Structures are given as structure tokens and as C-alpha cells.
Amino acid sequence: MVVHNARAQQKLLTILFYGGFEYLLLLGFFLGKIYNNPKESLIVVQIMFGVLLLGFVTYFLLIKFANSVFIFAK
């Protein structure tokens, strides 16, 4: 089986997925007003940073393997 990896659609979906998730976190953070103490706010900010970092890592790995072909053989 030959798998071609990291097409333009995969990069776009990665941006849309992580961007949308980050947008929802920011919307909940600023409009939710459920984070009363600094400890809860810090946890949410760390989650936002982690999602952002994971999105960048995933996107740049897709760029790095843009023209790679993976061959899975028995």
C-alpha cells in the first residue's frame, strides 16, 4: 500500500480544525466569565497555548513531509 501524505487539503483542514478549536477556547474564555480565580484562568490559558503549539507542530510536519511517499509492505 502506498500512502501519499500532506496534500493541500490536509494542511487546510489542520488550520481550520486547530483555528476553530482555539477560537472556541478564546470565545469561552472572554465571554464565559466562569473563570473566577487566577488558577482556573491559568489552566485555560495553558490549554490554549498547548492547542496552538500542537497546531503549529502538526502543520509544519505536514509541510516537511509534503512530497513524501510512505510504502507499507508485508
pLDDT digits (tens, 9 = 90+) for 57-70: 888 887 777 766 66
Q: Quote the CA–CA distance of 28 and 41 in Å, as a whole number.
A: 11
Q: Is the pLDDT of residue 3 over 70?
A: no
What is residue 59's predicted lDDT score, i.e. its pLDDT? 82
> Is 70 exceeded by the pLDDT of residue 45?
yes
* Contacts of 73 by beta carbon, 8 Å cutoff, 6+ apart: 1
What pLDDT does 5 receive?
55
pTM greater than the 0.95 cutoff: no
